[in-house]
Structure 1
Amino acid sequence: MKVKWIIQPPIYMVMLLLLTSCWNSRELNDMAIVTGIGMDKVPNTEEYVVTFQIVNPSATATSVGVSTGQPPITVYTSTDRTLFGALRKTSKKVARQLFFAHTQLLVIGESLAKSGINGIFDVFERSHELRLNSIVIVSRETDASSVLKILLPIESIPALAVVKKNKNTAKLWGENRAISVFELINSITGEGEPVISGVRIFGDLVKGRKKTYLEQSEVEAVISVSGLAVFKEGKLKGWLDGPEARGTLWVQNKIEQTSINIDSEKKQDSIAIDISHSKTKVKVKLREGVPVFHIYIDEEGSVIESQDFVDLSKRKELQKLEVELAKKTKEEVVKSLQAAQSMGCDIFNFGDELKRKDPKAWETVKNQWSDIFAKGELDVHVQVYIRSTGMRLKPFLPNTD
C-alpha cells in the first residue's frame, strides 16, 4: 500500500505536464503568411536574390467595412548566399515572423535556372518550415521577383492565381505540368532530366504592380503559363512549346484532357476532338547497343466541333477521324523526342525505365546515357477510339458535294 502512494504522485505530475498548452505556439497576429517565394541569381556572384510574397490580412478580409486601400500582398526581397539566410535576414524588414505553412509557389528566375538549380532544394528537405508540395515554375524572359510583384484580377493573392493557372492548363490543355518541389527533387536524383512549366509576363510590369490598374476591365499586365523548361544536369538547356511540349507530356503519361484539331477530307484542322482519356505505357530495350523506345498510347475522345460536313452517323467516317487523330498524336510524340535528343536530355525518364527493367543492360550504358539516348530509335503505337459525337450526328452545315 505504501508503494502505491509513493508511485502515484510522480505519475500525476507527468500527466499534468502532458496537459499543458503548446510550448512553441505562435499568435496569428505575430506571423507574416508567405504565399510565394522567388529566387534569382545575383550576377557574377554566388548569392541569391530571394523574394517573399506576403499576405496583407486587412486588405484581403471579406468582412464589410471601409477599405484600407492597401494591395492584397506585400513583397520583400533579401540577398544572401543561402535561401535560409535570406529568410532570416528579412526579419530586419518585416514586423512579423515569416510563416511558410501556406506557401503555394516557388518561382525560379531564368538567370538562376541557366546557372543551375540543384543546390537550392536542400533546405526544403531539411527545414520543417518550408513545404515540399509547393508548385515550382520558371520565369521566362524575366526574373522571379517581377512575377511575384504583379497583381492579378479574380484571385486576390497572385501566387495562388499562378498556381491555379498552371494546374488548370495542365489539366485542360496538356502543354504544361504542375510539378511540386518533392517531385522535382525525385526527378533530379533519378536517371532522367526534369521539365518545369514556365510563365511569361505580358504587358506593363510597372503598372501591373499597382492596385489602381485592377479597377478596369482590361488589366495592364498578365502572367501567362508558357512552355516547358528543359534541364540538363540541373541547368536550363532550352524550352519546349506547342506540339513538342504536349508530346512530352503524352510520353510521360501526364495528359488528362486536351483538344486536337484534325483534317477533314476538304478542310485542314476543321474538326476539334476533345481527348477525355489517355494512357501511355513505355518500354525501353537495347538492340545492339542502341536503345529502342516503344511507346503505346491509348486515347479516347469526342467530336466537339466540325467546320465541315461529315456524316458522323457512319462508323467508317469515325474510323477515318480515328486514323487522323492517331497520326496527329504520333507526330507530336516524334517532335518531342527529336527536340529532346537534339538537347541530349532524357526528359522522358527512359533511363529509369531501362534501369528498372534491365539493370545489367543499364550498367553498360549509364555512363554515356546522354549520347546514347540521342541516338535512340522511336517506335510509337497509338490506339484511338472516338466515343461520342456530342449532341448531334450530322452537322447543320449543308453537304456541298
Structure 2
Amino acid sequence: MFYKLAISMLCLLMLSGCWSRRELNELLIVLGVGVDWEDGHYLVSYQVVNPSEISNQKKAGDRPPSTLFQGRGRTLFEAARSVTAEAPRKVYMGHLQMYVIGEEAARRGIKELVDSAARDNETRLDFNFIVAKGTKAEDVLKLYTPVEKLPSYSMQQSLKTSEKNWAPTIAVTLDEALNKLSVQGDELALTGIRVIGSPDVGETKQNVETFMPPSRFRYSGIAAFKEDKLIGWLNEKESKGYTDITNNLDSTSIALACGDKRFLGVEVSSSDSKIKTKVVDGNPEVEISIRTEGNIVERTCTDIDLSDPKTIERLQKETKQSILANVEAAVARAKEIKSDIFGFGVQLGKEHAAFWKQIQDQWSDEYFPQLKVDYKIEMYIRKTGTTENSTIR
C-alpha cells in the first residue's frame, strides 16, 4: 500500500501544470513584422490583430482589423522592448506570417534580423521574408487590403498564389533564409513588394471603399543579396529565369508574337531543372538542364494551324527561345552584381569537393563572374485546347 502511495506522489510531482500558460486576452497576436533603418536606429513595426473586428459573431465597428505598434532601438531587442511603452499587452509571435524588410535595412545587412527571429522561441520557421522595394516596411504593413481584412494574411496568400501560377516571385521562409546565409556558394534572394499609389490614402478606410483601391501592394522583382546585404534587383524577365533555374517554377505564361501586336498564349504547366558542374583545365563550368511542358491557351492569330504537327514544332522552338532568354538574362544579371543566387557554388562543392575547397574564397568575385554556363532546354506542347482551331475569324 505504501509502495503504491509513494509511486502516486512521485507521479504528481512530475506534473508541472500550466506554469507558462498565457491567456489570449493578455496577448497581442502579431501577424506581420516590419523592420526599417532610420537615423542609426531600427524601427520595428508590429501588425497585431483586433479580434473584435474580424469576428464573424460581431458586427464590425469603426476600428481597423489590425493595429500597428512601433518601437525604436539600437538593437532589434531594444526596439522590440520599447514597444511596451505604448502596447497594452505583450506581443506574441507564434502566428507570424510576414516579415517585411525595408530596402535601406536590407542594404545595411539582415544577419541580425534573421538571427533575432530564429532565437525567439515563440516564432515558427514557416513565415515568409520579403523586401519593401523603394519604400519603408511600415508603409506596406499600414495598407487596408480588399477581400482579406488582415493585410499580412492577404500578402501571404498573394505571395503563395503568385509563386505557383506566375513565376517572378518566391516564398522564402525563415529556415530557408537561415540555410542560404549559413553556406558559402549560395546567396539569398527574396521577393520584392512595392506600394502602388499613395501610402497616406492606403492607411485609411477609404482605400477599400472603391472598386479599385487607390493604394495597394504588388510583388515586383527579386532582391539579390551578397552575403547578407541587398546588392541589386532582378527585373521580371530575370526573375522568371531565376525561378526556372532554381526549380521554383510551377506554372507561368509565355506570350509568342504571331502578328501585328498579336500574341499566342502558352501556359507552362510543369518545369523541372537540374544543375551539373564540371572542372575543365582548372576552370569550373555549369550545365543547366530544363525540361518544360505547356499548353496553348490563347490563339489570337487565326492563320496558325494548331492541327499541323510542324506548327507545334515551331511553337515549341519559339517557346524554348523565350525560356532561354529568361535564364540567360538571370545569369548575366547575377554575374554583373557578383551574387551566386542560384547555388552553383554549393553544387560545385558537392560534385568536386577538393576543387571547391581551393577556390571557395575567390568564388564570388573571381570565378563566378567568369563562369561558363551551358543550357540544355527541352520544351513540349502537350495540349492545344478542346477546340484546337477555333471557328472564330
User: What is the CA–CA distance in structure 1 between the aligned matches of 2:186 and 2:388, rounded to whole Å?
Assistant: 45
Mapping 1:87-166, distance limit 5 Å: 87-166=80-159
Asked if 1:53 corresponds to 2:27, the answer is no
**Partner SS for 1:311:** coil
**Partner SS for 1:286:** strand
The offset of 1:125, in angstroms, is: 2.4
The offset of 1:64, in angstroms, is: 4.3
Mapping 1:2-401, distance limit 5 Å: 5-17=1-13, 21-43=17-39, 45=40, 47-65=41-59, 67-190=60-183, 191-264=185-258, 266=259, 270-309=263-302, 310-370=304-364, 371-398=366-393
**Partner SS for 1:361:** helix
**Given that residues 200 and 223 in structure 1 are in contact (C-alpha distance below 8 angstroms), is that contact kept between their aligned partners in structure 2?**
yes
Amino acid at match of 1:247: G
* Structure 1 residues 213 and 324: alpha-carbon distance in aligned structure 2, compared to 1, 3 A threshold: closer
The offset of 1:17, in angstroms, is: 4.1
**RMSD value, Cα:** 1.5
Same amino acid, percent of matched pairs: 32
Amino acid at match of 1:296: S
User: What is the CA–CA distance in structure 1 between the aligned matches of 2:30 and 2:222, rounded to whole Å?
Assistant: 26
User: What is the CA–CA distance in structure 2 between the aligned matches of 1:345 and 1:212, rounded to whole Å?
Assistant: 42
User: What is the CA–CA distance in structure 1 between the aligned matches of 2:326 and 2:16, rounded to whole Å?
Assistant: 61
User: What is the CA–CA distance in structure 1 between the aligned matches of 2:380 and 2:287, rounded to whole Å?
Assistant: 20
The offset of 1:19, in angstroms, is: 5.5
The offset of 1:216, in angstroms, is: 2.2
User: What is the CA–CA distance in structure 2 between the aligned matches of 1:134 and 1:275, rounded to whole Å?
Assistant: 28
TM-score normalised according to structure 2 size:
0.95
**Given that residues 302 and 388 in structure 1 are in contact (C-alpha distance below 8 angstroms), is that contact kept between their aligned partners in structure 2?**
yes
* Structure 1 residues 351 and 269: alpha-carbon distance in aligned structure 2, compared to 1, 3 A threshold: farther
User: What is the CA–CA distance in structure 1 between the aligned matches of 2:342 and 2:314, rounded to whole Å?
Assistant: 30
The offset of 1:267, in angstroms, is: 5.1
Q: Which moved more, 1:160-169 or 1:70-79?
A: 160-169
Q: Which moved more, 1:331-340 or 1:19-28?
A: 19-28
The offset of 1:218, in angstroms, is: 2.2
User: What is the CA–CA distance in structure 2 between the aligned matches of 1:258 and 1:195, rounded to whole Å?
Assistant: 19
**Given that residues 187 and 193 in structure 1 are in contact (C-alpha distance below 8 angstroms), is that contact kept between their aligned partners in structure 2?**
yes
User: What is the CA–CA distance in structure 1 between the aligned matches of 2:54 and 2:100, rounded to whole Å?
Assistant: 23
User: What is the CA–CA distance in structure 1 between the aligned matches of 2:231 and 2:49, rounded to whole Å?
Assistant: 34
**Given that residues 52 and 58 in structure 2 are in contact (C-alpha distance below 8 angstroms), is that contact kept between their aligned partners in structure 1?**
no
**Given that residues 108 and 137 in structure 1 are in contact (C-alpha distance below 8 angstroms), is that contact kept between their aligned partners in structure 2?**
yes
**Partner SS for 2:199:** coil
**Given that residues 311 and 395 in structure 1 are in contact (C-alpha distance below 8 angstroms), is that contact kept between their aligned partners in structure 2?**
no
The offset of 1:151, in angstroms, is: 1.1
User: What is the CA–CA distance in structure 2 between the aligned matches of 1:396 and 1:244, rounded to whole Å?
Assistant: 37
**Partner SS for 2:157:** helix
User: What is the CA–CA distance in structure 1 between the aligned matches of 2:369 and 2:126, rounded to whole Å?
Assistant: 32
Amino acid at match of 1:284: T
User: What is the CA–CA distance in structure 1 between the aligned matches of 2:181 and 2:158, rounded to whole Å?
Assistant: 24
**Given that residues 71 and 81 in structure 2 are in contact (C-alpha distance below 8 angstroms), is that contact kept between their aligned partners in structure 1?**
no
**Given that residues 267 and 308 in structure 1 are in contact (C-alpha distance below 8 angstroms), is that contact kept between their aligned partners in structure 2?**
no
User: What is the CA–CA distance in structure 1 between the aligned matches of 2:322 and 2:262, rounded to whole Å?
Assistant: 11
User: What is the CA–CA distance in structure 1 between the aligned matches of 2:254 and 2:260, rounded to whole Å?
Assistant: 15
**Given that residues 197 and 216 in structure 2 are in contact (C-alpha distance below 8 angstroms), is that contact kept between their aligned partners in structure 1?**
yes
TM-score normalised according to structure 1 size:
0.94
Aligned length in residues: 390
Amino acid at match of 2:203: R
**Given that residues 198 and 226 in structure 1 are in contact (C-alpha distance below 8 angstroms), is that contact kept between their aligned partners in structure 2?**
yes
User: What is the CA–CA distance in structure 2 between the aligned matches of 1:397 and 1:263, rounded to whole Å?
Assistant: 19
Long gaps (5+) in structure 1: none
Residues 104-123 of structure 1 deviation map (CA, whole Å, 9 limit, x = unaligned): 01000000011111222112
**Given that residues 271 and 290 in structure 2 are in contact (C-alpha distance below 8 angstroms), is that contact kept between their aligned partners in structure 1?**
yes
The offset of 1:10, in angstroms, is: 2.6
User: What is the CA–CA distance in structure 2 between the aligned matches of 1:268 and 1:284, rounded to whole Å?
Assistant: 41
User: What is the CA–CA distance in structure 2 between the aligned matches of 1:241 and 1:144, rounded to whole Å?
Assistant: 20
User: What is the CA–CA distance in structure 1 between the aligned matches of 2:332 and 2:116, rounded to whole Å?
Assistant: 35
**Partner SS for 1:213:** helix
Residues 49-89 of structure 1 deviation map (CA, whole Å, 9 limit, x = unaligned): 11100111111111144x32100010011012332332232
User: What is the CA–CA distance in structure 2 between the aligned matches of 1:289 and 1:271, rounded to whole Å?
Assistant: 45
- After the TM superposition, list the runs of 4 or more consecutive aligned residues in structure 1 that deviate by more than 3 angstroms: 17-21, 266-269
